[in-house]
Structure 1
């Protein structure tokens, strides 16, 4: 029986920097805005995490809407979004420190876990807060760029 050895293939320890950087990289597609166009609404945005008890950490949107501790809130899920309005006979309330708490049923319906983030959009003129789970944003933002073509 004869034995032959195959030499080992060992990569270089210091990679070539040029091989790691793609020179032909193009930026991801982004929808074009009209030159000089600005914001057209008074919507206030915040990105916030939800803790294990459903508390939303950011209080700025609650303050913008004029909700104070004890304000009664109607919290509902609609199409994967969380819609919150101040209603006099609602069950949920802004807590003593001014935080919004999302009910367990709504968190389960939206599949939110502790640490998940939400894009909060406060519409002061309407008195409405809409919370967008990042899974919903992923779906919304993927559609225009599905083919890699910018609008």
Structure 2
């Protein structure tokens, strides 16, 4: 018995989608220009005013000469944030805190605890006038930074002698 000859079957052809008509490729769109980089003003000796204070039990510190340098009068609204173990205080029209009537700054209890600021332990206050900021450094941060610096200087001094 002979087998009838069948035409070759092409099953793939009907399953493949038909080619789309050729369309021109869209041209490259230009990238939008980035805004110019604005560098904040450099901190200079004239724009940095330092002071020391002892926080009271209620958490307020007297900082009248720093507030004058910043131009913050009594009842000036403030925003207080903790950053890297320090308190960063800036002007804020809708701030929750304000400069006291006697030129004192509030240091909220939760922020003091986060930064390990204890009543009666000194804090270093740095008013950065060009940025309208006041930074409160706990004594532990100042001690650590000075210890690192002095260790580095002592090592450099011994190297220079040897």
TM-score (norm. length: structure 1): 0.69
The separation in 1 between residues aligned to 2:85 and 2:145, in whole angstroms, is 11
* Corresponding residue for residue 31 of structure 2: none
- Give me the whole-angstrom Cα distance separating, in 1, the residues matched to 2:107 and 2:94: 17
Cα deviations by residue, 1:39-82 (Å, 9 ceiling, x for unpaired): 94220110111000111023211111010111110111100111
Q: 1:109 aligns with which of 110, 114, 117?
A: 114
Mapped partners of 2:119, 2:88: distance in 1: 19
Please report the RMSD computed on the Cα atoms of aligned residues, expressed in angstroms. 1.7
Q: Does 2:45 correspond to 1:41?
A: yes
Structure number with greater CO (CA < 8 Å, separation at least 6) is: 1
Q: 1:90 — aligned with what?
A: 95
Match of 1:134 among 131, 134, 139: 139
Partner of 1:119: 124
Partner of 2:71, secondary structure, is coil
Cα contact 2:63–2:103 (8 A) shared by 1: no
Partners of 1:144 and 1:150 within 8 A in 2: no
Runs of 4 or more off by more than 6 Å in structure 1? none
Alignment match of 1:57 (pick from 56, 62, 65)? 62
TM-score (norm 2): 0.65
Question: How many Å separate the matches in 1 of 2:149 and 2:45?
Answer: 22
Structure 1 gaps of 5+ residues are 1-38
Secondary structure class of the residue paired with 1:61: helix
Structure 2: which 5+ runs fail to align?
Answer: 1-42, 158-162
Residue 50 to residue 150, structure 1, CA distance change in 2 (3 Å): farther
Aligned pair 1:149/2:162, yes or no? no
Name the CA distance, whole Å, in 1 between partners of 2:49 and 2:145: 19
The corresponding residue for 1:75 is: 80
Q: How far apart, CA to CA, are the structure 2 residues paired with 1:129 and 1:97?
A: 17
d(CA) in 2 for partners of 1:74 and 1:52?
A: 21
- 2: distance between equivalents of 1:100 and 1:150? 40
